[in-house]
Amino acid sequence: AYVLLHSIPRVIDSSSTVPDLLSIFHEQEMTETVHETNGHGYLGTFVGKNGWLAILRVHSHGLVTVDLQCYEEDDFAQVDNLLNALESKLKVILNGNITRIKRLPALVRGAEVDRYWPTTDNRLVEYDMDQLVYEEDSAFQNIKILHSQQYGNALILDNDLNLAESDLAYTLAIMGSGRENYTGKEVLILGGGDGGILSEMVKQKPKMVTIVHIDQKVIDACKKYMRGTCGNILDNLKGDCYQILVEDCVPVLKKYVQEGKTFDYVINDLTAIPISMEPEEDSTWEFLRLILDLSIKVLHPSGKYLTQGNAENMTESLGLYEEQLGRLSCPVGFSKEVVCVPSYLEQWVFYSVWKK
């Protein structure tokens, strides 16, 4: 466990600050080492008999940081006492000169269940995952299902959080947020192996929904552990108004193009990073454009192509994606919408695309 503490005093003089703080470490019988920093302020490390490590830095520009490393099984009241003592002493020493003081929650490392799943724009966020429900490496990817107290089970593919049982908002958004009517329609879903879209769509009595999903193991895992998302729809790969093809979508799309088959809706629910790369695709963007182009080709002239884009903060990626839309073999128009998907901890952009 890690505990971090920092304060930003307006004025600081390490020669008067440090000795007073040292006494606190000495009381804990921690052994001090002062490090030579070549003019980068005071840096002391303190090691306790219990294996604790405290790092005290007094930076010349006024930042004081304290890190404390201890063990999960240690007495946390003792940890808090040490940090409280340091905080109080700092307040006394820097009386009136502290602009901010902040203690961060402990960072846990080496826990059985990993709780850190950074956002797409690489912010550190800690989840409330408490159990590894399932893990397997398929031929295509690493599949994990973790349980979260507030989000239910969450599907994680190659360490990328795909969807949690709480995330009906994702499913509704990629279906067009209630603006589309699927009754009697022909729909093609790329990816979508969690069954969320299918489960919602069959309620509207479509003519036929075809899902093309490459990874049987994802379907099996979701059928068993993501029932809050898929209900019982994955129990059968075929139903009155749907079929699930366990195949790579690229050859399937090519076959549809060749046959001249079209769909009223194509929903691209593939993971952001392609897991199957044909030789002709030399980059993620090439793959993405291939899928887009084939999808538009099998789209009925009055149909809609619906897809998830990226995190709202990934403005550059979103811009590049919209550039791709301008480079398709057929001119298209598009609209986008920002939606809050509960387990994502970042706003997400969804696209609707149509033929001009």
Residues that bind its own copies (CB under 8 A): 2, 4, 6, 8, 31, 33, 35-41, 43, 45, 47, 49-51, 53, 55, 57, 59, 63, 65, 67, 69, 100, 102, 104-105, 107, 109-110, 114-116, 118, 121-128, 149-151, 166, 169, 311-313, 338, 340, 342, 345-347
- Which residue shows structure tokens 């549809």? 256
Q: Between residues 220 and 312, which has the closer beta carbon with respect to its own copies?
A: 312
Q: Between residues 40 and 205, which has the closer beta carbon with respect to its own copies?
A: 40
Cα-atom radius of gyration of the chain, to the nearest Å? 27
Min separation Cβ 87 and its own copies, Å: 15
Closest Cα to residue 256, out of 184, 208, 327? 208
Q: From the candidates 167, 194, 215, 269, give the one annotated as an active-site residue.
A: 269
Distance CA 142, CA 140 (A): 7
Handedness of CA 78, 84, 90, 92 (dihedral sign): negative
Q: Between residues 53 and 277, which has the closer beta carbon with respect to its own copies?
A: 53
- Which residue shows structure tokens 């921690």? 30
Contacts (Cβ under 8 Å, ≥6 apart) of 84: none
Q: Which tokens sit at 258?
A: 């060749």
Min separation Cβ 150 and its own copies, Å: 4
Closest Cα to residue 54, out of 74, 23, 31, 27? 31
Q: Is 197 within 8 Å of 234 (Cβ atoms)?
A: no
Q: Between residues 30 and 219, which has the closer beta carbon with respect to its own copies?
A: 30
Q: Between residues 63 and 208, which has the closer beta carbon with respect to its own copies?
A: 63
Q: Is 104 within 8 Å of 90 (Cβ atoms)?
A: no
Whether 158 is catalytic: no
Min separation Cβ 30 and its own copies, Å: 10
Min separation Cβ 187 and its own copies, Å: 27
DSSP 116: B
Rounded to 5 degrees, what angle do the CA atoms 63, 66, 69 make? 155
Q: Which tokens sit at 263?
A: 């769909």
Min separation Cβ 215 and its own copies, Å: 22
State the catalytic residues: 269
